[in-house]
Amino acid sequence: MLDQYQSVFASDYHSVAFKLANNCPICEGEGTPLGDAASIDKNKSLKIKLLSCSDCNHWWHNPLPVQECLNSLYEEGSNSVIGSGWSDATKNDLSKPEKMLLALEKGYETKNYLEVGVGKALLFNQFLSKGINCFGIELGQWGKNNPNIFPDLDDVPVSMQYDCMVAMDVLEHLSDPKVMLKKLSALANAKTRLYLSFPNNQSLRARFYKTKWRMILPYGHIHYFSYESAKKMLGDSGWKITTAQKTDLYKYERLRKIRRLFKPNEWLKIMREYFGWGDQWFITAEIL
Ligand SMILES: [Zn+2]
């Protein structure tokens, strides 16, 4: 069965690419099947199981690709992890959680900034333009023009006092998100602020659509978090949650367009945002 997954999703990877994950990767709890999900690559018809943890409500895919395999898939820009068209898609605006992060950071004086998953560097450049020393991690081919951007967290300067650490839309892509969080905690000090965002499996859409929820994009996305699984993951990695908000990526600016308020669809969007039914967690954390 694992061979079949390897031949479909990682045929160019020549070590063992997949492992079975019948138990929760966050708390070891028992996995209950939610159904079969379609790959992020619409050209691949092999379905991927979505499981839910009976203890912490975490959702994950089974089988699970090992991290080395994921690294090689991202390096080659494989459709198994980025789908088709992602690298051409233009993202010109900061996401809602990124804007929330910038607003929170205004109150601090930051010397050193560390961002995992720099992507197209929209957020990274915001910090750079403030004269802050910025360090980043980015595996993909995009965003490699800065000497302070490294392919792996193991390569960043360890002597640096990082005031602010960011991993937005990163943990859901990793085989074991605790490995990354433990490495970050080893680089953090008592004053370090950690900002995270990742999919919220308790959102309105998640509960309703399950395997067809828009965030279910294996093997681009592998993990979908409940509050309990986020708390457990962070706690096991040396962090504690300071704030946890849910957002539906709804932009307040749209409210200015009064005419939209006469559309029922707009009210559904506003309710999802303000009642905490949103698809995304925005979490701040500090060292334990
Ligand atoms: Zn669990």
- Taking only the tens place, the pLDDT of each residue in 139-149 is 766 556 778 99
59 C-alpha to center of ligand 1: Å? Answer: 8
Q: How many whole angstroms separate alpha carbon 96 and alpha carbon 196?
A: 12
Residue corresponding to tokens 């895919």: 61
CA of 168 to the centre of ligand 1 (A): 22
How many Å lie between the centroid of ligand 1 and the Cα of residue 53?
Answer: 5
Sheet holding 31-37, edge to edge: 31-37, 48-53, 59-62, 223-224
Report the SS3 class of residue 167.
strand
Q: Distance, CA 206 to ligand 1 centroid (Å)? A: 17
How many angstroms is it from 232 CA to the middle of ligand 1?
A: 8
Pairing verdict, β 48-53 and 31-37: antiparallel
Report the candidate in 158, 106, 160 with the shortest Cα–Cα distance to residue 133. 160
How many other C-beta atoms lie within 10 A of the C-beta of residue 125? 14
CA of 230 to the centre of ligand 1 (A): 10
* CA 233 to ligand 1 center in whole angstroms: 9
The pTM assigned to this predicted structure is 0.91
Q: Are 179 and 26 in contact (CB under 8 A)?
A: no
Up-side HSE of residue 4: CA atoms within 13 Å toward CB?
9
End-to-end CA distance of the chain: 41
Q: Strands across the sheet with 193-199, in order?
A: 149-150, 133-137, 112-116, 164-168, 193-199, 280-287, 239-247
What mean pLDDT is predicted for residues 181-193? 96
Closest by alpha carbon to 56, among 273, 248, 202, 249? 202
Mean pLDDT of the chain: 90
- Of 42-51, 207-216, 264-273, give the lowest mean pLDDT range: 264-273
Please list the residues that pair with 165 across neighbouring strands. Answer: 114, 194
At 211-260, the pLDDT tens digits run: 999 999 999 999 999 999 999 999 999 999 999 999 876 665 555 566 66
Q: Give the distance (Å) from ligand 1 centre to CA of residue 25.
A: 7
* CA of 134 relative to ligand 1 center, distance in Å: 34
Show the domains of the chain with their CATH numbers. 2-86 (no CATH), 91-199+227-287 (3.40.50.150)
CB 210 within 8 A of CB 34: yes
Cα(31) to centroid(ligand 1), Å: 8
Yes or no: say if 188 and 266 are a contact pair by the CB < 8 Å rule. Answer: no
Under the banding of pLDDT at 50, 70 and 90, the label for residue 83 is: confident
d(CA 77, ligand 1 centre) in Å: 30
CA of 161 relative to ligand 1 center, distance in Å: 33
The upper half-sphere exposure of residue 269, i.e. CA atoms within 13 Å in the direction of its Cβ, equals 13
